Chains A and B, each alone.
Chain A
Amino acid sequence: MTELNPAGTDAGTLIRLSAAQLAAKLAAREVTSVEVTQAYLDRIAQVDGGDRGINAFLHVNTEEALAVAAEVDAIRAAGGAEAEALHELAGVPIAVKDLIVTVGQPTTAGSKILEGWHSPYDATVVARLRAAKMPILGKTNLDEFAMGSSTEHSAYGPTRNPWDLDRIPGGSGGGSAAAVAAFEAPLALGTDTGGSIRQPGAVTGTVGVKPTYGSVSRYGAIAMASSLDQIGPVTRTVLDSALLHQVIGGHDPRDSTSLPEPLADLVAAARTGNVEGMRIGIIKELHGEGYQAGVENRFNDALALLKEAGAEIVEVSCPNFQYALGAYYLIMPSEASSNLAKFDGVRYGLRVLPEDGPMTIERVMGATRAAGFGDEVKRRIILGTYALSAGYYDAYYGSAQKVRTLVQRDFDAAFTVADVLISPTAPTTAFRLGEKLDDPLAMYLNDVATIPANLAGVPGLSLPGGLADEDGLPVGIQLLAPAREDARLYRVGAVLESLLEAKWGGPLLAQAPELAGSPALDTQEAK
C-alpha cells in the first residue's frame, strides 16, 4: 500500500491516538495500517534501545507486523464483503507480554532458561488477535516468569518508566505498560496473577484490566499460579481496554477453567458509562495507613467526582484482607513451584552440564535450573516447595486456601451493599530502580491492594487518577466488581476517566515528559 494519508496526520500525532481513534481513521481510510504500524516501529527504534532507552521490548516483530498491516490495507482498498467483515480493530497494532506464546517469535518469559525458545503453537489470545488481523509489534519485557512488581527481575534488564527513566514501570508487566505509556504501542496484552497488569498501569498512568478469572483463556500463557493467572488488556483509555477485552475474551475449549458463558457487551458499557444511583464502596482496609499521601489525595478526588456525577459512596469493611497478602505468598509460590518443574533441561530451552562429577539427569537438572532461573524465581520455588511439604502443608497451603474462602466471603458481603468497590491500585507511586531489589518483602507489599481480586477471581480495572503532589508521578485508581460483572468496571471507569480528563484538560499522558530519542536500534529482528 502506498496510499498517502489524506488527513496529513503526522507520525507523532498518529502514535498518540487511542486505538478507538485509530480504528475509526483506518475504517474511514484516512490512514493506512502500514503507516500506523511503521510509525510505532519507528517510535520503538527511537526510544526503546540504548543506555537510557525504555527497554519495553524483548523482540520487535517488524516484518510480520508490516505484512499483516499491508494485508488489512489491501482488503480495505479492495472493498466488498471481505472489507465489511474486517474486525473493528483490524490494522491496529498491539504488543504482547513475553509470557504469552507466539508462533514466529521467540518467547522467553523474561528468563534465561527459555532464551531463544520458539513455541510450536499460539496462545488462544494470540490466535484471536490474528483472526482480528491486528499486527503484533513484538514481545514485551517482564519480571522473570511474571514474578515481581518492578520488571527488575527480568533476565534481560529492567524496563524504565517513561515518566522518570530512573524509576520502575511496575511489574510484572512493566514492558507492556511502559510500551503503551511511551507511545510505542496503542495496545498491549498483560497477565495479572497478583496485580501484574493493574500495578504497572497505576505507576505508568495507563489503564489495565484483570478480567474475571476464566473469562479470558489462559491457553498459551506460561503458567505461574494457575488458579490466579489471568490475561487482560493494557491500554491508554478505558474504551480501548473494553475493545481489546472483547477481542480476547469468551469461552475457549482448550482451557478447562474457561467460563462457558459468552462475554457481556463490554464496549457498549464503556461507551454508555453512567454512575447515577450506583453504589460505590470504599474498602476501609485498602487506603489510609501505609498509603502515600499523594495517592490518598488523588483517591479522594476521584471519590468526590463520582459523587458529583450521582454515585452513592458507601464504606465497606473487608476484615480478612489483612491475611490476603500472606495467603497469596503461600498459594502463588506453591502453584509456581509445581508449574515450573517442567523446566528441566530436557524438553525446552537451556541445558547446562555440571562442571564435574557424574553426568546424571538429576545433576543436569540441578545445574540447568541453577543457571537458568534468577533469584526471585528460586526464592518462590523454594518457598512453594516448603509450603507444600509434608508436615507444613496444612499449616501453610491449607490455611491459605481457607483464607481464600474468607476473602471471597468479604467480597460477597461488600457486594451486597455496593455495586462496585474502589481503592488506590498501589500504595505508592513508582519507586526508584534498585530501591527495593534487596528487600523481597517490601517489593511484595506493592501488591497489597491488587491481590484480593486474584484470590477471589473477581475483575479489577486500574485507571489513571492524576499525579501525586509530592513527586508528580501517576497514581492509579482501582475499581473492583463481582465475578462476571466486568461490564460494571467499564461503565464506572469510563465516567471517572471523562470527569478526570475534563479536569486535566486532556489525557494524563499528555503531561508526561517528552522522551529524548535514543540511538536507533537494530530493530529488524531482535535487539
Chain B
Amino acid sequence: MAAINRDDVAHLARLAHIEMSAEELDRMAGELAVIVDSVKSVSEAAGDDVPATSHPIPLNNVFREDVVGHTFTAEQALSGAPDSIESRFKVPAILDEA
C-alpha cells in the first residue's frame, strides 16, 4: 500500500472540512505516515474466504411500532445552535457567489 503524503493529507482535510495550516499539514503527514505503516499488516491478515464483521453482535430486522413517539419542539431542537431565525437553523451562504 502506498504511504500517505502531505498532498494526501491536504486533500483529506478538505474532504473532512478541517482547515489546516502548512505547519499542521507537515506534522500531520509525518504522524499519519507512521500510523498507516503500523497498521498495514492488517491487509495481509485475512484471506478472501474470511467474511467481514461490521457489528460484533448482529441483530436483524429491529423494528418498532409505527407510531409517533417523543419529538422535540423547534425551540428545543434549536437550543444548542450557534444561530437561528424563525424556528430554523441559520447558516452562512451555501454558494460561493458575490
Contact = CB atoms under 8 A, between A and B. Distances in A.
Interface of A: 117-121, 212-214, 227-228, 253, 256-257, 259-260, 320, 322-323, 325-327, 329-330, 337, 341, 344-351, 353-354, 358-367, 369-370, 373, 378-379, 381-383, 385-386, 389, 392, 395-396, 398-406, 408, 440-441, 444, 454-458, 483
A257 B12 contact: no
Interface in B57-83: 57, 59, 62, 64, 72, 76-77, 79-83
Given A214-B57, A346-B81, A361 B94 contact: yes
A351 B45 contact: no
Contact of B28 (A345, A347, A378, A406): A378
B39 interface: yes
A54 to B, nearest CB: 29
Contacts of A386: 4, 8, 12, 32, 36
B91 to A, nearest CB: 5
A330 B95 CA distance: 34
Contact of B45 (A260, A320, A441): A320
A117 B80 CA distance: 6
Contact of B96 (A257, A260, A358, A483): A358
Interface of B: 1, 4, 8-9, 12-20, 24, 28, 31-32, 34-36, 38-43, 45-46, 50-57, 59, 62, 64, 72, 76-77, 79-83, 89, 91-96
B80 to A, nearest CB: 5
28 contacts: A214-B56, A256-B59, A320-B45, A326-B40, A329-B38, A341-B16, A345-B82, A346-B82, A346-B89, A360-B96, A361-B92, A369-B17, A369-B19, A379-B35, A383-B36, A385-B12, A385-B16, A386-B32, A389-B12, A396-B42, A399-B42, A399-B43, A402-B51, A405-B50, A408-B56, A441-B34, A454-B56, A457-B55
A341 B32 CA distance: 20
A253 B67 CA distance: 13
A323 B89 contact: no
Contacts of A323: 41-42, 45
A121 B76 CA distance: 9
Contact of A360 (B19, B45, B93): B93
A385 B57 CA distance: 25
Contact of A395 (B43, B53, B64): B43
Given A382-B9, A483-B56, A373 B62 contact: no
Contacts of B18: 366, 369-370, 373, 378, 381-382
Nearest to B44: A399
A228 B38 CA distance: 21
Nearest to B70: A121
A256 B62 contact: yes
Contacts of B16: 337, 341, 369, 381-382, 385
A118 B79 contact: yes
A404 B55 CA distance: 9
Contact of A401 (B12, B20, B32, B53): B53
Contact of B42 (A363, A379, A403): A403
Contacts of B94: 360-361
B59 A405 contact: no
Contacts of A227: 54-56
Contacts of A213: 56-57
Contact of A347 (B32, B46, B81, B95): B81
Nearest to B81: A347
B56 A455 contact: yes
A442 to B, nearest CB: 10
Contacts of A381: 16, 18
A247 B19 CA distance: 43
A402 B42 CA distance: 9
Contacts of A404: 52-53, 56
A382 B12 contact: yes
A121 to B, nearest CB: 8
Contacts of B24: 378
B39 A457 contact: no
B13 A405 contact: no
Contacts of B41: 322-323, 326
Contacts of B81: 346-348
B27 to A, nearest CB: 8
Given A382-B12, A382-B16, A361 B82 contact: no
A120 B46 contact: no
Given A325-B39, A329-B38, A378-B20, 14 more contacts: A120-B72, A330-B39, A346-B91, A350-B82, A353-B92, A360-B95, A364-B91, A364-B92, A369-B17, A378-B18, A386-B4, A396-B42, A399-B43, A403-B45
Nearest to B4: A386
A120 B12 CA distance: 33
A135 to B, nearest CB: 25
B35 A441 contact: yes
A344 B72 CA distance: 20
B17 A362 contact: yes
Contacts of A441: 34-35, 38
Residue from B13, B20, B82, B83 having most chain A Cβ neighbours under 10 A: B82
B79 to A, nearest CB: 6
Given A360-B96, A366-B19, A383-B36, A120 B45 contact: no
A118 B19 CA distance: 26
Given A361-B91, A395-B1, A441-B35, A408 B64 contact: no
B50 A402 contact: yes
**Closest CB pairs A-B (n = 10):** A457-B56, A402-B46, A351-B82, A401-B52, A326-B39, A370-B19, A366-B19, A404-B53, A326-B42, A365-B17
